[in-house]
Structure 1
Amino acid sequence: MGMVIDGQWVQEDRIYENGGFERRASLFDVPLGKDLARSIREEPGRYHLIASQSCPWSHRTILLRSFKGLEGVLPMQIAHGPRIEGYAVNGGAPWRVPGSDQEIIHMHELYRLADPGYTGRSTVPVLWDSVGQRIVSNESARIMRLLDSVSGEPGGLDFTLLPPGLTPEIDAFNDRLQTEFSNAVYRAGLARRQDHYEAAVEEVFSILAELEQRLAARRYLFGAVLTEADLRLLPALLRFDHVYHSYFRCSRKCLADYSNLWAYTRDLYGWRGVAEMTNFRAIREGYFLNDGDGNPFGVIPVAPEIDWFEPHGRDVQWPAQLTLRNGDLVTVDPVTLQPIGEA
């Protein structure tokens, strides 16, 4: 894919170590404070989210932006198009950087504007400050937590996906999901040695089996209440049968082979904004045309036949709940996020 070294784009990518895929730490992974959360709501249009519909880490920030009703205060630019020099910002057409008179085509140019001597990969998502002309963060976990801390939209529920008292458990679970699933599918799909591939596949199907059992006794990962962990898991599940099962060779089972996980994924797909903010065509194109070197002729497979709106039945046994900022639980309609009764 290439990367930036000392502010210059080079056709080199330091993602392999001894035949295995290694994800590098972000240089813009810094804590994001409460003042920034207030600023997003109070200074509409100052901050911009730049994300890709194909990237699962981008996708979870896109979903949270929609969940929180931030469309009117946090503009979003979808990075798309051929990755000739990494992500194109606007399909290969010039894009004016918010707050400046600069036009760029590739994400690495934005990184260079923020830091002329930058060395690293030019990944998405990116939270851009148009006033400070800086990258606030390019770490999706930080961006998700920041967006969650933004106050609720006027007239809507002021909810959080981090219920009081559950944050340490959610953090620990998120770490496992990142290592054993979200990153493990990449270590399987991009492996250049058989032993690396087989070890990664074992991790993937081990945690899928564990999740299948966990979801037999609860609607979501931490009970009836939706949490950040569910939104971190969802993008990887949505991609499983489309790309991870085939292109990344995680072929032991399909998602539909796990009755609880499959119903859980369809349940989450029905929440506000998820279907609208999920582009399966972009997902398949993103992987089969740009990730790895296993598709030299650029053939994009047809989509698997999946009915995402097949009734999931999980609402019969459990309600769907959100946690208000004050800690109270409220039962909601997942489609509208409006209360439907007392918790």
Structure 2
Amino acid sequence: MGQLVDGVWYDAWYDTASAGGRFQRSVTAYRNWITPDGSPGPSGEGGFAAESGRYHLYVSYACPWAHRTLIYRALKGLVPHVDISVVHPDMLSDGWTFAADFPGTTGDRLFGLRFLRELYLKVDPSASGRVTVPVLWDTARDTIVSNESAEIIRMFNTAFDGITGNRDDYCPPDLLEQIDAMNERIYDRVNNGVYKAGFATSQAAYDEAVHPLFETLDWLEAHLARNRYLCGDRVTEADWRLFTTMARFDPVYHTHFKCNRAWLREYPNLWGWTRALYQWPGVAATVHFDHIVRHYHYSHATINPSRIIPINPLIDWTEPHGRG
């Protein structure tokens, strides 16, 4: 994984020993917002106006956080307006790299850099912290707008509507309170819960993560028996934030992260809901299972030191979902 310390790269895995074997996710550093007119958003500074071709998105097809932004880029008609660079799925001693010898990788389309950390160092030569995706880059100001996926998708939801004409709203004001509550519960116990279980280095840390995970999956199964989507009969941000974790559950998290009390496919409502979102126009093209399976099993030597890539079950994501 590695991290920057005062501009110097160190190949260092997460420090779980100091937290009793618990995985603790680092806080993102760049929290500016693109707005229609460049006015300041809820955090950071202003000056980032929505313009076609101005912004560039750095992503990993393997990463569920980056995947959120790719889904919104597709749903909101932003593909012609926001170009992307795709990192290699192997995240080894140099962290994310722009090697282009794996199908779907692009190299760095803006600067021809070798490593993602070099992009962070362009902004701050003495930067410290984890080097993560997604990264939303501003080519006009030559800086990072944001590396917080939850905020990037909210920008994409509305900021470019005047350019694209796409006014689909996945975070409508009348559902915002419900969406935020759903996101909070799901993030802690599911989105991040699988990582807390998978990266745990003590039995106690694993137990305190994996049981709430499956309690929440059980709750979601019952909830989706009564509701078409997480917040009723409209697909919202809450659905897309959960979807990227569910898409990875059976291929990766069940076995690799020891989240193996049950397969996603054993939850009829949750599995049908996941397939319904996968089959949503434009979404399937954002899902790259080859990157997902390769990244997790090959990159996490502390979990899979032999780096053997499993064959995995054959799953038909296109079978009828039965969700109406």
TM-score by length of 2: 0.90
**1:147 to 2:162 alignment:** no
Aligned equivalent of 1:82: 90
Alignment of 1:1-343 (within 5 A): 1-16=1-16, 17-36=19-38, 43-83=51-91, 84-91=93-100, 95=107, 98=110, 102-152=111-161, 157-291=166-300, 293-315=302-324
Counterpart CA distance in 2 for 1:25 and 1:112 is 18
How far is 1:41 from its partner? 8.6
Relative distance call for 1:274 and 1:95 in structure 2 (3 A) is closer
Aligned sequence identity (%): 40
How far is 1:67 from its partner? 0.5
Q: CA-to-partner distance for each residue in 1:89-129, whole Å, 9 max, x for gaps?
A: 3437995563xxx5411111100111111100000000001
Contact map agreement 1:40 1:74 (CA 8 A) in 2: no
**Greater Cα shift, 71-80 or 287-296:** 287-296
Counterpart CA distance in 1 for 2:280 and 2:159 is 19
Aligned equivalent of 2:43: none
Relative distance call for 1:36 and 1:281 in structure 2 (3 A) is farther
How far is 1:158 from its partner? 1.6
Counterpart CA distance in 2 for 1:282 and 1:313 is 28
What letter matches 2:303 in structure 1? Answer: G
Contact map agreement 1:56 1:235 (CA 8 A) in 2: yes
Q: What is the aligned residue count? A: 312
Aligned equivalent of 1:321: none
Contact map agreement 2:52 2:163 (CA 8 A) in 1: no
What letter matches 1:200 in structure 2? Answer: A
What letter matches 1:115 in structure 2? Answer: D
How far is 1:261 from its partner? 0.2
Counterpart CA distance in 2 for 1:113 and 1:154 is 29
Q: Please report the RMSD computed on the Cα atoms of aligned residues, expressed in angstroms.
A: 2.3
Aligned equivalent of 1:326: none
What letter matches 2:172 in structure 1? Answer: P
How far is 1:149 from its partner? 1.0
Counterpart CA distance in 2 for 1:81 and 1:314 is 33
Contact map agreement 1:81 1:91 (CA 8 A) in 2: no
Relative distance call for 1:252 and 1:125 in structure 2 (3 A) is same
Q: CA-to-partner distance for each residue in 1:66-105, whole Å, 9 max, x for gaps?
A: 011101010011111432311013437995563xxx5411
Question: SS where residue 174 of structure 2 aligns?
Answer: coil
Contact map agreement 1:81 1:90 (CA 8 A) in 2: no
Counterpart CA distance in 1 for 2:70 and 2:172 is 21
Relative distance call for 1:96 and 1:264 in structure 2 (3 A) is closer
Relative distance call for 1:203 and 1:29 in structure 2 (3 A) is farther
Question: SS where residue 95 of structure 2 aligns?
Answer: coil
What residue ranges of structure 1 are gaps of 5+ in the alignment? 316-343
Counterpart CA distance in 1 for 2:119 and 2:50 is 25
Question: SS where residue 187 of structure 1 aligns?
Answer: helix
What residue ranges of structure 2 are gaps of 5+ in the alignment? 40-46
What letter matches 1:256 in structure 2? Answer: R
The structure carrying a bigger strand percent of its residues is 1
